[in-house]
Structure 1
Amino acid sequence: MATGFERVAAHVAATLGAAVVSAEPVPGSVANEDFRVGLDDDRCVFVKVGPRTELAAEAWALAQATAAGVPVPKVVAYEEDSAVTPVPYLVLDLLPSDRDLTDGVVRAVGAALKRVHSIEVPGHGHIELVGNPLEPDSVRGQFGTWPEFVGSLLRDAEDLVRVGLLSAEQETAIRREAEGIHGSPLMGDSGVLLHADLKPDHLLPVDGKLTGIIDWGDASAGDPAWDLARASMAGPAVLRIIAEAYPGADDPEVSRLLPIYRVLWNAQALAHEYRAGGDWFAVFQRRIASDLGLG
């Protein structure tokens, strides 16, 4: 069976005006097929092939983040027209990284995240777009309110019990902890742009400076504390340094919500992994059990 890139290679080459000389698969995504692609003009680009829902959201979010002064990959090309390509694809600049996440880099992530969270987006949940994602007709989160989004995650938890990936005791605890959540003090009247998967692997540093925040396929609208919860999975020291550059991140009510937000994030990820046919369950289950205090 042809890989996703093999299906679009000729289209990508024609768009970029250069022949493809190498295509190295990059593991890590259950929804997309990702490739590091070398061209005969010595350029290297990153190509994502997959569902429009994620690729369009990523293309739009990258444009918004760039406009806000956040270092992200440049969108080189995006195509979803079935008359042009058999499957949607997104081509991005390949950014350098030395993987050295110093305190200064993490602090810069906090400042960048604050800028991302200044971008208001109607609705809550994963970004939905109508039209060209670089010039869309409309953009909004898929749910009308934050509690509606949280409710969708509680339904995910119910589904996970039915397929044996969560215990009934865990689902009951999740529902109890999530009761009455309307958002953190960081959230205003509207949702804001969220990266929604902010982890060390998605942060690119070079020589002590932040050069890029990558992988925006989960871009969503909602409570800024959702991004802080995801970032906090890297440990309390990371969250503390982010908070140094993000006013309000250490608010007691934000801190109170972070554990249940982590649980809900991991329940969502676990449900997504199951529905996509993956089997990488253990890390999500372990985090859920840890934050709930239940084995």
Structure 2
Amino acid sequence: MDEVEVVVAHAERATLRVGDVFLKVDPDQARIDAEVEAMALAPVPTPEVLWRRPPVLAIAALPGATLGRLGGPSTGSSAAWAAAGAALRTLHEAPLPPRPGRAGRSTAALAAELDAECESLVTNGLLPADLVTRNRRVAEAALRPWTPAFTHGDLQIAHVFVDGDEVTGIIDWSEAGQGDALYDLATFTLGHEEHLDDVLTGYGYGHGSDIARDLDVIRGWWSVRSLLAVRWLAEHGFDPFAPGCEVDVLRSRM
């Protein structure tokens, strides 16, 4: 008999694995609806939806393995990372989905959220002021006008599956929608800067001023995502201070 594996669980949602089936338990039906819609529209491999019985969504397991995880070593080759970059380009060039995603928050709203979070991090003693100040300055590069693209919105490397050098699927589309393509590139390479060149090569970047500008934006998104995640992770039983995780990403900007 297959055992029940708890993949991730916190106050908002939980994901369980039973054999070759993943069960996502989420009381927010709108979020589940958005995920199923995004998977149907995305021009890249996604898991098969087996059934839906609110608050549970059942999806089939994907072949292959993830490229790694934040805070751990990458298990994928350079070619696999480049293939993921090519898949991202395909996604970003697809027709826009109907709704905004996590990567589509307005610049003004994001800046206000970021400033409030930075103040909280320092006031509550979670991070030193110089680390927060430096990363808030780096983050400014991400707060600029952008052209909407079809974005995943939470493209952690643990959400991308490969078999050899081929992308077999991308999971967890609940944050997908219209957004900034560079947010996806930054989220995917967070904590694995050593593979950024591979991803950008697969994505189709050449040499020139555009890549230099976009690299600053990607680094800005690394700071934004990490600053906004530290307190939430700590409050939900995760450890952003673990080696290679969010706090180390922030320290690397120093």
Normalised by the length of structure 2, the TM-score is: 0.78
1:45 aligns with 2:21: yes
- Percent identity over the alignment? 27
Q: 1:148 to 1:248 in 2, by over 3 A?
A: farther
User: Please, which of 32, 36, 40 is the counterpart of residue 59 of structure 1?
Assistant: 36
Matched letter for residue 13 of structure 2: N
State how far apart, in whole Å, the 1-side matches of 2:47 and 2:116 are.
34
Q: 1:169 to 1:213 in 2, by over 3 A?
A: same
- In our comparison, the structure showing a higher alpha carbon Rg is 1
Residue matched to 2:52:
78
Residue matched to 1:261:
221
State how far apart, in whole Å, the 2-side matches of 1:125 and 1:148 are.
14
Residue matched to 2:128:
167
Residue 224 of structure 1: how far off its partner (Å): 0.9
1:250-291 superposed Cα distances (whole Å, 9 cap, x missing partner): 71110112222101111222233245x324231222211222
1:286 aligns with 2:248: yes
Q: 1:115 to 1:180 in 2, by over 3 A?
A: closer
Residue 46 of structure 1: how far off its partner (Å): 0.8
User: Please, which of 74, 77, 88 is the counterpart of residue 113 of structure 1?
Assistant: 88
User: Please, which of 87, 102, 116 is the counterpart of residue 126 of structure 1?
Assistant: 102
In structure 1, list runs of 5 or more residues that go unmatched.
Answer: 1-20, 39-43, 81-87, 128-140
1:3-31 superposed Cα distances (whole Å, 9 cap, x missing partner): xxxxxxxxxxxxxxxxxx64522334544
Residue 225 of structure 1: how far off its partner (Å): 0.9
Q: Is the 8 A contact 1:23 1:35 kept in 2?
A: no
SS of alignment partner, residue 186 of structure 2: helix
SS of alignment partner, residue 78 of structure 1: strand
In structure 2, list runs of 5 or more residues that go unmatched.
Answer: 67-74
Residue 112 of structure 1: how far off its partner (Å): 1.1
1:118-167 superposed Cα distances (whole Å, 9 cap, x missing partner): 2435775528xxxxxxxxxxxxx5x4x23422432332222323332222
1:152 aligns with 2:126: no
User: Please, which of 186, 195, 199 is the counterpart of residue 242 of structure 1?
Assistant: 199
Normalised by the length of structure 1, the TM-score is: 0.69
Q: 1:47 to 1:266 in 2, by over 3 A?
A: same
Matched letter for residue 289 of structure 1: R
SS of alignment partner, residue 25 of structure 1: strand
> Which structure would you say has the larger RCO, counting Cα contacts within 8 Å and 6 or more residues apart?
2
Residue 170 of structure 1: how far off its partner (Å): 2.9
